[in-house]
Amino acid sequence: MPEITLSLPVALGLMAIILIIGAGVVFAILRGTGRVVEPTPTATITPSPTAGASPTATLTPSPLPSFTPLPPIEYTVKENEYCSTIAYFFNVSIQSIVLLNNLPADCGTLYVGQKLLIPQPTPTASPMPTSTLSEIEATEEACEKFSYTVTENDTLSSISLNYNISIQALKDYNGLTSDIVYQGQILIIPLCKRNPTPGPTPTATLPPPYPAPNLLLPADGSVFQAGNETITLQWAAVGTLRENEAYAVSIDDVTAASGRKIVEYVTDTKFIVPSSFRPTEDKPHIIRWWVQPVRQTGTTSDGQPIWQSAGAVSIQRVFSWWGTNLATPTP
């Protein structure tokens, strides 16, 4: 037979191949008989929690309580009441009264004895107290405000011009849905909402409104009978009036069927009722009078001054005045 000579590396390589083939054949035979043992997976040890440490509990916030709307209150309109005064009394908006009662937008159709449904505000959960006010709350808290009573000749425009506050700011602060205001209506005047003074040179802003004058004489309910008697109305000064300011003295003959009334503007704190205003009948007339600070804001085309309110209206007093034909009674 021929002799085959192999080098050592080749011989080693052939032996390795033969061993691999042989091992493969043996593995296949053992696996077919089910005697091959699969390796056991190594258990992964999970570290136990440290003693003393407790698992963290997840807290679920409880839902806020729900509130059932309260039924509206039935209210009967009284004399000299308006939507604004009723809304102010019940602490609700004028708009809510208008919507609930299907009233006109200006709410100007109220009459004495009318039944209104007044909505009750829905209770809300009180917020948690905070140590500091929000920016909006701080601004509102710092805003200087006062209550103003609308007089006979007032309009929302004149009040806006008088206090240099926009009409929209007055409507927002008072819940107004129109520009209509009524005599006796109470408005909140936010002085912090005054318009900036235009121009490079700042001018003096209007002073806060004057308080109501305190009436002095004659005493309420006084009687004047003498035909030549002079009636002098007197009141206490509300402060030092400016050059364009005065007192508006209103005198009204309540008894007269024609409704006689005069309004005079004086800078003094007294006014003599003109003798021409004395009743001509032989019976007493009830005369009512009151005083209010006013400010001139311009002039009419014929040069007459235009007066606007500059403060609160005084209380009203009355006195009785007999006609000129009545003889002076003998004591």
Domain membership flag for residue 209: no
15 burial via Cβ count (<10 Å: 0-12, 13-18, 19+): exposed
- 77 and 147, same domain (yes or no): no
Give the pLDDT band (50/70/90) at residue 264: very high
- Please compute Rg for the chain using Cα positions: 47
pLDDT of residue 108: 77
Higher pLDDT, 191 or 306: 306
pLDDT above 90 (res 3)? no
Query: According to the model, what pLDDT value does residue 38 have?
Result: 53
Q: Report the percent of the chain where pLDDT is more than 90.
A: 12
- 261: pLDDT strictly greater than 60: yes
Is 60 exceeded by the pLDDT of residue 45? no
If asked whether residues 179 and 247 sit together in one domain, one would say: no
CATH of the domain at 95: 3.10.350.10
In this structure, are 248 and 296 located in the same domain? yes
In a domain? residue 103: yes
Query: Is residue 50, in this structure, part of any structural domain at all?
Result: no
Q: Is there a single domain that holds both residue 242 and residue 309?
A: yes
Three-state DSSP state, 309: strand
Locus of tokens 């005369």: 287
Which is more confident, 44 or 267?
267
Neighbours of 106 (CB within 10 A): 16
Q: Is residue 7 part of a domain?
A: no
Asked if residue 274 belongs to a domain, the reply is yes
DSSP β-bridge partners for residue 215: 235
Q: Are residues 229 and 290 in the same domain?
A: yes
Q: How many domains does the chain have?
A: 3
Verify that 240 and 279 share a domain, yes or no: yes
How many Å apart are CA 215 and CA 171, to the nearest integer?
33
- The per-residue pLDDT for 328 is 47
Residues 184/80, Cβ–Cβ less than 8 Å = yes
DSSP structure class, residue 191: G
Answer yes or no: do 87 and 154 share one domain.
no
- 243 and 285 together in one domain: yes
CB atoms near residue 32 (< 10 Å):
9
For 127-141, write each residue's pLDDT tens digit: 555 555 566 666 666
Q: Is 164 helix (H, G, I), strand (E, B) or coil?
A: coil
| pLDDT tens column, 91-108 | 888 888 888 888 887 787
Neighbours of 315 (CB within 10 A): 11
**Is the pLDDT assigned to residue 246 strictly greater than 90?**
yes
Judging by DSSP bridges, how do beta strands 245-253 and 270-272 pair with one another?
unpaired
pLDDT given at position 235: 93
Asked whether the beta carbons of 119 and 72 are under 8 A apart, the reply is yes
For residues 103 and 142, state if they share a domain: no
The verdict on residue 57 lying in a domain is: no
Domain residues for 264? 215-321
The verdict on 154 and 238 lying in the same domain is no
Residue whose C-alpha is closest to residue 187's, from 148, 152, 136, 133 = 148
In a domain, 280, yes or no: yes
Two structure tokens written together for 106: 């200006």
Q: Supply the CATH number for residue 247's domain.
A: 2.60.40
- The pTM of the full predicted model, rounded to 2 decimals, is 0.40
> 172-205 pLDDT, tens per residue?
888 888 888 888 888 888 888 787 765 554 555 5
Q: CB atoms < 10 A from the CB of 261, how many?
A: 13
58 in a structural domain: no
Q: Do 230 and 311 fall within a single domain?
A: yes
224 CB-near residues (< 8 Å, 6+ apart): 218, 231, 319, 320, 321, 322
Strands 215-217 and 232-235: antiparallel
Residue with tokens 């999970």: 46
Do the Cβ atoms of 134 and 87 come closer than 8 Å? Answer: no
